Structure formats: C-alpha cells, structure tokens
Amino acid sequence: MGLFGRKSFRHGVHPPESKDATAGLPIRQFPFAPVLVVPLVQHMGKPSVPVVAEDQEVTRGQVIGRPDGYMSVAMHAPVSGVVKRIGLTPSITGKMVPGVYIEPFPGSTQEVMEGEPCDPDSASPEEILAAVQQAGVVGLGGAAFPTHVKLEVPEGKSVDSIIVNGVECEPYLTTDHRVMLEQRDDVIQGIRYLLKITAAERVIIGVEANKPDAAEALREVVPTDLPVSVEVLEVKYPQGAEKMLITALLGREVPSGGLPADAGAMCINVATTAEIGRLLPHGRGIQERVITISGPAVKDKGNYRIPIGTPLRFILDTVGVSEDLSRVFMGGPMMGPAASSLDIPVVKGTSGVVAFTSAETGRTTAVREYPCIRCAYCVDACPLYLNPSQLGLLAKSGDYQRMADELNLMDCFECGSCTFVCPSHIPLVQHFRVAKRAVRKARAGG
C-alpha cells in the first residue's frame, strides 16, 4: 500500500506532474498538413509492405501497407489524397525508414472508409486477433508493440486478470486522461473484445489519484454483465509500468526475464483499448490518434486528434512555439526520446509532443557531469531494485556483459528514475541503452 492506503509499489520518484495546462482541455481535431508522411515502420517487428504506388489516389482509412508476417501490422491512409512518393523518411530513432508521402485533396470531406465489422459476441478469438492486426493497432502508450501479438496468451500459460492501464504517470501528458473522459464507451467496448480473446476472469482499470474525474466517469459506464472494476492508485512515477501495475493491483511479481503472463496477468494501455473498441465495430484502421501538445515552449497547448504522419514541424508551427525553443520530446520527458529533426512525423506510438525552452533544458549553460558519489539515491529510486550506480560504473568501463550477467541490466525498462535523482547529472539511462544494445548484438552473434 502507498500513501493514504492507495495501492502502489515501493521506490519510484515524484517528478512535477505539469498536467494542469491540458488536463481540462477537450480533444480537438488537428488540421491536415500539406504533406503527410506515413512511415511503414511504426511498430516492433517487420515493416509493413506498401500496397499503393506513386501517383495513386487513396481514400482516408484505406490500407496502404499490409502486414509482413505475424510480427507486423497494417498501415492506413490518414487522409484522402494522392501518393506523391514512396521513399525514405527520418524517424525518431535517427534512422531513415521507408514511408508513404500523401498530399491531401483540398476539397475532400475526409470521411473514413467503413470496413468489415467484427462483432465481439459472434467472432472467435482468432478472428478478433486478425481484425486487430488488420486495424493496425499497436501499443499507444509508447511501446508500439503489435497489439494482436500481445493479446495472444502464450501456449502453456493462462491469464486470469487484465489490467487496463489508465495511469499516465509521465509528466505533461493528458492523452489517456481525456480518452477516459471522452471515449469511455469505447473503452468498455474494447474490454469486451479483450475478454473474448483471453477468457480472463476479471478486468481492472488502473487510474492514478490525480484523475478522480476519469475514475468516476468509467465507474458510471461499467455494465453489470462485465467483471470490471476501477482502482485508484497513488500518484508516483513509474506507476504505469506494467510490472509496477501488476505488483500494485494484484500483489504479484513478474519474474526476471519473464512476461506478465508468467504472473497470470496482461496489461494493455487504455487508449489502445479504446481504439480497439472504436475501430473494430466498423472494420476501420488507425489513421489518427490523440496526442498531448504541451511544455513551456508551446503557446496553444492542448489534446489533439492528429493524423498519423503529420510532420513535427507542421505541428509546432500550428500551435506556436517560443523563439528560444530548445528541445522537443516525442512522448513524455522521462521516457520519450528527444527529436533530432523537426521533419520527423508523428506515429502510432506518439502519445505527446513536449517542447522546452533553453531556460528548462540548460542549453545556455552546459550541465556538467560529475563523478558518482555513491549517494545511493538511484538505488532508492529504482522500482526494480537494481543498482544503477554500479551499473553506471560498469557501463563507463565498457563491461556490458557483466552488467547483464551479474546485475540484471536487461530487466531495466529505462524509466529514467535514476537519472532524475542523480545529483552528479550522470545520464544513466543513456549508458544503459548503449549497454543493452551491445548485449543484444553479442547474444545475436553480431
């Protein structure tokens, strides 16, 4: 139990929430950019394969990329228009990836195509999973893992509890908050699909205590025929991490290197759940998503339904930013990567765009990194009970294998709590990312 008896986990940190500027703002539709760039790599796994050609006319919601195997999903046109080019586009990873460039029709009504509906009552679990894949649904909380893969219970395991993650513990982000308020019926409909797929006994919707209106709104629409409850959790970061949620809500622990199914649980983001409930009854695919645009550098802050493929530069020009714009994060500032280019388009996993001025990022005076003083603040902060201090020292010496073999490096999910509390300004998470890539490459024989 956490503060005031609310469910929680041990350790973690309390960064400023910074949500007040957008938490009360309803979702607004964002305008279409002059050109939208839809990367064919928006998920873990294999890229989608384009099924359109240059100069071809497309309709909003039309499939423009088919899944390439099991670990892949479909891509859909975010706008009715003309395919101007199929070529490389910059991505948030820094790599160039294949993408489809679409120029909207200026006079189009931009209606979304209707497809083959999927009824949760009559469809089999396999048919629902196929519909989720064809709808292009991935984890909208940021991970972008193909949802149909996540929802399939591994052979030999069973899931008795589904946790719908409405925590949204990242600073600034209010996307999930608004979805829970404005799309609560979609959330409930999505849960019907989840129960049919998994045959779970119960569903728990986890909401942090700073969103009491969302918790109450969901409780009001939970039907009596569904085993669904809404639990309010202590406000703490990273409360929304699936391992932390399973511990807080179920009192179970996911074993090192294991999956939530090893603890009889499954976690799915609330916006992902809502999209399943919104899209599958109409046989549609994801062609837009709700994104929080916020941060000290943003003038017209808000929660916007933005077409997938909208360039970051167009977004910032539309909402207006300060002249001393310094850094832009795709997602929240704790786990979201900083954008290296304003030509990067938003993708399915983009939950927020948070922009800062030089006053917040310290660009005017470089932040100096000091040696580790072994204060153990990072040890007290780590929600997985790792030793970030020791891991950081080994990372600097390049002893990556020892980090993995002796100190459980691969269990780190890069929440950033250790970096947040470090008084020496050591970029621990960045060191861990480099180390994990090296370990994965070595294990793959690279």
Q: Where does a domain end: 282, 305, 337?
A: 282
For residue range 225-283, what is the model confidence (pLDDT) as tens digits? 999 999 999 999 999 999 999 999 999 999 988 889 999 999 999 999 999 999 999 99
In a domain, 207, yes or no: yes
pLDDT higher than threshold 50 for residue 2: no
For residue range 347-357, what is the model confidence (pLDDT) as tens digits? 999 999 999 99
> Which phi and psi (to 5°) does residue 208 adopt?
-70, 155
Return the H-helix or E-strand segment holding 99. strand 96-104
Q: Residue 371 — left, alpha, or beta (φ > 0 → left; ψ -120 to 50 → alpha)? A: beta
pLDDT the model gives residue 256: 86
Contact indicator for 295, 354 with CB cutoff of 8 Å: yes
Interval 165-185 mean pLDDT = 97
In a domain, 290, yes or no: no
Tell me how far apart the terminal alpha carbons of the chain are, to the nearest angstrom: 44
pLDDT the model gives residue 108: 86
CA distance 257 to 254: 8
Indicate if 242 and 385 belong to the same structural domain.
no
For residue range 99-113, what is the model confidence (pLDDT) as tens digits? 999 999 998 888 898
What the block records as the tokens of 288 is 């837009």
pLDDT the model gives residue 5: 53
DSSP character for 338?
A: B
pLDDT the model gives residue 257: 84
Tokens 């797929």, residue? 197
Please report which confidence band the pLDDT of residue 143 belongs to, taking 50, 70 and 90 as the band edges: confident
pLDDT the model gives residue 334: 93
3-state secondary structure of 271: helix
Contact indicator for 376, 316 with CB cutoff of 8 Å: no
pLDDT higher than threshold 50 for residue 49: yes
Q: What percent of the chain has pLDDT over 70?
A: 98
> Which phi and psi (to 5°) does residue 237 adopt?
-105, 135
Amino acid at 10: R
Indicate if 252 and 400 belong to the same structural domain.
no
For residue range 67-91, what is the model confidence (pLDDT) as tens digits? 999 999 999 999 999 999 999 999 8
Interval 327-344 mean pLDDT = 92
In a domain, 154, yes or no: yes
Q: What percent of the chain has pLDDT over 90?
A: 84
pLDDT the model gives residue 149: 94
Contact indicator for 247, 131 with CB cutoff of 8 Å: no
Indicate if 248 and 390 belong to the same structural domain.
no
Domain of 406, in residue numbers: 377-443
CA 384 from chain center: how many Å? 20
The neighbour count for residue 225, using CB atoms within 10 Å, is 7
CA distance 230 to 227: 11
Q: Where does a domain end: 250, 282, 314?
A: 282
Contact indicator for 59, 105 with CB cutoff of 8 Å: no
Of 322, 287, 286, nearest in space to 301 by CA: 322
Identify the sign of the CA torsion 278, 70, 60, 339.
positive
Q: What residues are paired with 162 via a beta bridge?
A: 203, 266
Interval 420-440 mean pLDDT = 94
Interval 50-79 mean pLDDT = 96
Interval 392-402 mean pLDDT = 94
Mean pLDDT of the chain: 93
Q: What residues are paired with 166 via a beta bridge?
A: 207
What the block records as the tokens of 383 is 């929600």
In a domain, 246, yes or no: yes
The neighbour count for residue 387, using CB atoms within 10 Å, is 17
Indicate if 155 and 263 belong to the same structural domain.
yes
Amino acid at 70: Y
> Which phi and psi (to 5°) does residue 416 adopt?
90, 5
Indicate if 17 and 166 belong to the same structural domain.
yes
Please report which confidence band the pLDDT of residue 364 belongs to, taking 50, 70 and 90 as the band edges: very low
Please report which confidence band the pLDDT of residue 7 belongs to, taking 50, 70 and 90 as the band edges: confident
Parallel, antiparallel or unpaired: strands 265-269 and 161-166: parallel
pLDDT higher than threshold 90 for residue 1: no
In a domain, 298, yes or no: no
3-state secondary structure of 113: coil
In a domain, 218, yes or no: yes
pLDDT higher than threshold 60 for residue 365: no
Q: Where does a domain end: 282, 304, 319?
A: 282
In a domain, 164, yes or no: yes
In a domain, 83, yes or no: no
CA 170 from chain center: how many Å? 11
pLDDT higher than threshold 70 for residue 423: yes
Indicate if 159 and 14 belong to the same structural domain.
yes
3-state secondary structure of 356: strand
Those residues whose C-beta lies under 8 Å from the C-beta of residue 197, and which sit 6 or more positions away, are 125, 128, 129, 151, 152
For residue range 177-231, what is the model confidence (pLDDT) as tens digits? 999 999 999 999 999 999 999 999 999 999 999 999 999 999 999 999 999 999 9
Amino acid at 237: Y
pLDDT the model gives residue 3: 47
The CATH code of the domain that includes 261 is 3.40.50.11540
pLDDT the model gives residue 363: 53
Indicate if 274 and 397 belong to the same structural domain.
no
Within 252-309, where are the H helices?
270-279
**Number of domains present in the structure of the chain:** 2
